[in-house]
A and B are shown apart, each in its own frame.
Chain A
């Protein structure tokens, strides 16, 4: 079975500081990996995804993530956060190992930005 772990429930960073959100996954083959963001009162929006090729993936809003197979990780990074980045971030894993694999979402990391 596939699974995703986001070890940090809540992270607080200062505006302008760098950010790294952790994601570890379990999957039987090369997975499809995703980061979605949920702003308060909104649905989820895709930030970026990985399924092959370059292990450093660029996304929207200045975010990037790096796939590390040896560590089963797909951490999300941003060099300098803005107040508008305050939101909840979800990592997800899926694939086609068993056919129509559905996505499994992590429990989310809430990001707070302080001035």
Chain B
């Protein structure tokens, strides 16, 4: 099993550009999550999904969108990138509830200039 994979690893965007961060898991997990990690701030939940076709907002959803058309994939869309979105983004998955073990991808480091 590859676990949770994320692409790209690094990206630099200009203000106002858009992009999609890709996330795929091969563990047949129901729950998937997007977090952002800022220095000294820990991880903040952006969006999560409890299954294909079902998504919900987390703590910091503004400026982002998600979709979940399959069990495996959970892409995160940034529209109109802003410097405040400079961060490291982690995708994670868990079999069932969020209190199950969450498995994390290696992260995407995004810089918005």
Contacts and interface: CB of A to CB of B under 8 A. Distances in A.
B101 interface: yes
| B: contact size bracket | 20 to 34
B90 A100 contact: no
A103 B90 CA distance: 14
Given A43-B104, A43-B107, A100 B97 contact: yes
B4 A43 contact: yes
Given A90-B42, A105-B42, A100 B98 contact: yes
Contact of B45 (A96, A102, A106, A108): A102
B32 interface: no
B58 interface: yes
Interface in B32-50: 33, 40-43, 45, 48, 50
Given A43-B4, A43-B90, A96-B97, A103 B102 contact: yes
A41 B50 CA distance: 28
Nearest to A108: B42
A29 to B, nearest CB: 13
Interface in A90-112: 90, 94-96, 100-103, 105-108
Interface centre among A41, A44, A107, by most chain B C-beta atoms within 10 angstroms, is A44
Interface centre among A43, A45, A51, A106, by most chain B C-beta atoms within 10 angstroms, is A43
Interface centre among B4, B92, B104, B105, by most chain A C-beta atoms within 10 angstroms, is B104
A7 to B, nearest CB: 13
B106 interface: yes
A41 B41 CA distance: 17
A96 B98 CA distance: 9
B48 A46 contact: no
9 contacts: A41-B106, A44-B90, A94-B98, A100-B50, A101-B99, A102-B59, A103-B45, A103-B99, A107-B40
Interface of A: 4, 9, 32, 41-46, 49, 51, 90, 94-96, 100-103, 105-108
Interface of B: 4, 33, 40-43, 45, 48, 50, 58-59, 90, 92, 97-99, 101-102, 104-107
